[in-house]
Amino acid sequence: MAKEKELQQKQPMPPLGAWVPAVALGWLIPGGGHFLLKRNGRGALLLAAVTGMFLFGIMMQGAMFQPQNGDLLTTLINTGGFLGNLCSGILYILSVGFGYSQVDLAGHVHDYGTKFLVTAGLLNVLAMVDAYEIAAGRKD
């Protein structure tokens, strides 16, 4: 176990050309990196899960975060939430482009919706890391 970790740490950084297209496409289209790397089944599952999470967030009228300055907690929550939203790639771009703008409302459904929207982005980050590992040859 320790040897395996040591071995992983010693692996050189793969060339940018090997992984940047997969990671960039993975950001733009959830599962896109996997499709590019011919892992179609896994790509389809990731696409369905991330898109499903995001669409349910929209249908629950979740709020999108905007970066805000203020006290530390406000800055952390809003900037972190904004980055999470941004990680959904084209889903975020399209929803904002088509004018989706929901103010933060009281109620558990809207609250879940806001969390769904951020979590969709965070799940896409996991998918991007997986695409990186496949492109770098560290994983099948």
Partner 1 sequence: MPKVNLSHFEAAVLFAIFTSVVMGVVTKRTDRDRLHYGLYTFGCFLLALFGLGWLMYFGHG
DSSP assignment of 61-98 equals TPPPP----SSHHHHHHHHHHHHHHHTTTHHHHHHHHT
Per CB under 8 A, the list member of 58, 83, 90, 136 interacting with partner 1 is 58
Smallest separation, CB 49 to partner 1 (Å): 4
The nearer residue to partner 1, 67 or 109, going by C-beta atoms, is: 109
Minimal CA–CA distance to 79: which of 60, 93, 66?
66
Interface residues toward partner 1, by CB under 8 A: 42, 45-46, 48-50, 52-53, 55-56, 58-61, 108-109, 112, 115-116, 119-120, 123, 126-127, 129-130, 139-140
